[in-house]
Amino acid sequence: MSFAKAHNYPWRQVTPGTYIQDYDSWQSVQAIWNNVDREGRRLHMLASCIEIQSNITDLESRLRSAWLAARYFHPGLAIELGEYYKAYRVPTAEELEAWVNDTFIMPACANAEEFQKQHLSTSPDSHLHWFPKTKQLLFTAHHTLFDATALWLFWGAYLDLVISPKIVTFGDEWKNLPLARDDLLGLPKYPSLAGNVKGLSMITNALKPDAIELPTLNTTTNSDGQVVPNGRSRNEFLRLALSAEQSTAIIQACKRRGTSITAAFFTAISLTCQKIQREYGSAGRYAIGFHNFDSRPWFPRELASTVNAGNDPHAMIPFTVDLDGKSFEDIAKITDENFKSIRADFGNDPAGLDAVSHMLKGLLNLDGPIATFPGFTSFGVADRVIKTAYHDEVGGWIKIEDSYHWIQNMVKGMNAVCVYNWKGRMYLGGCFNEAYHTKEMFHRLFRDSFDLILHTFNLGPMGPSSVL
């Protein structure tokens, strides 16, 4: 793949110390989600939490100082989101102090989980929350600014600054502002004819009328055919973890069958969701989702592993799998081939990624009906991206005990499910709106999906699991 030398989306200085960057095709999609709904919720917020242990005596002070230093090395943390562009302002000393006071927060809540359910800010800006009793750090920002990999890369860079403090002087940090995904992939300012044809083909092939849905509960249907909740929206989260032994067994079984873990879990979630839907009426035939994949492997080598805070560089391609009359193995094979062909196709030529993004803006109408089939993605192996232990030269240390990501304030009945591996254990995580779905339903969705994979691979019944 060749990369364009000229940037179509540069950071432009508009006044002394103020820089703006127009949204590229993918960021323009995410920008439409940067809205406050009728209940006052800032939609599509991303959250990442780590639980740490440390022997550092002045830990809180170090955490706060590192947050300030992180803004210098990763100024995307302080990007402001506008309607058509992102903006960054080089701060004065007073503005920098005010920024730290406003964004490094110690909530009154006992832990990060309770805070996320009830006390979310309506601001799309980056915030870091410290819960000293539980030793949890919670980072929140709008999804426009980060993806899952970027969150883990951020934690690694941030904890490096905690364990090895740096003195910084602001003024030239704007040079570290993130580049646009479309520029890094060498895409044109506007999609080519071939790109539009490619994008339109992918969109139309993914649209099917008989779609699988996760049934909504405690809802009614209005005269416009839209599902309306009977209660107020409330964030809820659930994780289910397998034992290390069964996690390893699933990985080995997937390798023997030549099937990716992502495809196996998408298949299990799809079949389980279809089974649950059938219990509430007729079940759909098609699993319609998005292939969320990391475009960093296609970036120039020196940029592929950087934090790039302030830019979500992943790609989202719609696809459909027909479940009718197919076995688990058949569906997993089709799904795996689908994922591989999408990545290979766009890896060889990114044309069409921009066209797909522009077309999605018309489909993702926040006021229209919302699909409730889980938005599925794989985060991969977390501790391959982020170190789990940090040490200084005088014996100080920080260890990460736990880590997870959520999407908060889902639109209406939308929900998201992820699979990832952390310290040898496989996790299914989900976030949803309790006005539409229950925690019991998601617990069943996860447990039955694990059971289905274990049964299909002849790995016995599900052993002890952890609900987190």
What's the average model confidence in pLDDT over 302-324? Answer: 84
Confidence of residue 123 (pLDDT cuts 50, 70, 90): very high
Exposed/middle/buried for residue 164 (C-beta within 10 Å: 0-12, 13-18, 19+):
middle
Q: Where are the domains of the chain?
A: 12-181, 191-384+411-467
Given a contact cutoff of 8 angstroms between Cβ atoms, the answer to whether 342 and 317 are in contact is yes
Q: Exposed, middle or buried by CB within 10 Å (0-12, 13-18, 19+), for 255?
A: exposed
Closest by CA position to 64, among listed 106, 14, 92 = 106
Q: What is the pLDDT of residues 64-97, one digit of tens each?
A: 999 999 999 999 999 999 999 999 999 999 999 9
**Predicted local confidence at residue 305, as pLDDT:** 62
| Over residues 317-342, mean pLDDT | 95
Cβ proximity of 168 and 69 under 8 Å: yes
Residue 468, pLDDT > 80, answer no
How many CB atoms are located within 10 Å of the residue 70 CB? 24
pLDDT band for 467, please (50, 70, 90 cuts): low
The pLDDT, as a whole number, for residue 267 is 98
Mean pLDDT for 323-338 is 96
Lowest-confidence region among 119-123, 170-174, 251-255: 119-123
How far is the C-alpha of 285 from the C-alpha of 210, rounded, in Å? 6
Average pLDDT over residues 270-286: 96
Band (pLDDT 50/70/90 cuts) for residue 416 is very high
Fold of 12-181: Chloramphenicol Acetyltransferase (3.30.559)
In the sheet that holds 85-89, the strands lie side by side as 12-15, 18-22, 85-89, 80-81
Name, of 15-24, 111-120, 216-225, 352-361, the range with top average pLDDT: 15-24
Is the pLDDT confidence value at 2 over 50? no
Quick one: average pLDDT of 452-466?
84
The more confidently predicted of residues 20 and 299 is 20
- CA dist 267 and 330 (Å) reads 9
Average pLDDT, integer, range 180-205: 94
CA distance 214 to 104: 37
Report the CATH fold assignment for 191-384+411-467.
Chloramphenicol Acetyltransferase (3.30.559)
For residue 3, what pLDDT is reported?
A: 41
Average pLDDT, the chain: 92
DSSP bridge pairs for 422 = 425
pLDDT bracket for residue 359 (50, 70, 90): very high
Q: Residues 200, 193: contact at Cβ < 8 Å?
A: no
- Please say if the pLDDT value at position 319 is more than 80: yes
Within 13 Å and on the Cβ side, how many CA atoms surround 316? 20
In DSSP terms, 290 is beta-bridged to: 318
From the list 153, 258, 240, the residue with the least C-alpha distance to 426 is 240
Report whether pLDDT(4) > 50: no
Contact 431/228 with Cβ under 8 angstroms?
A: no
Of 7-16, 360-369, 448-457, least confident by mean pLDDT is 360-369
Give the pLDDT band (50/70/90) at residue 362. Answer: confident
Query: Same fold for the domain at 12-181 and the one at 191-384+411-467?
Result: yes
The residue among 189 and 221 whose pLDDT is bigger is: 189
**Percentage of the residues of the chain whose pLDDT score is greater than 90:** 75
**pTM of the entire structure?**
0.94
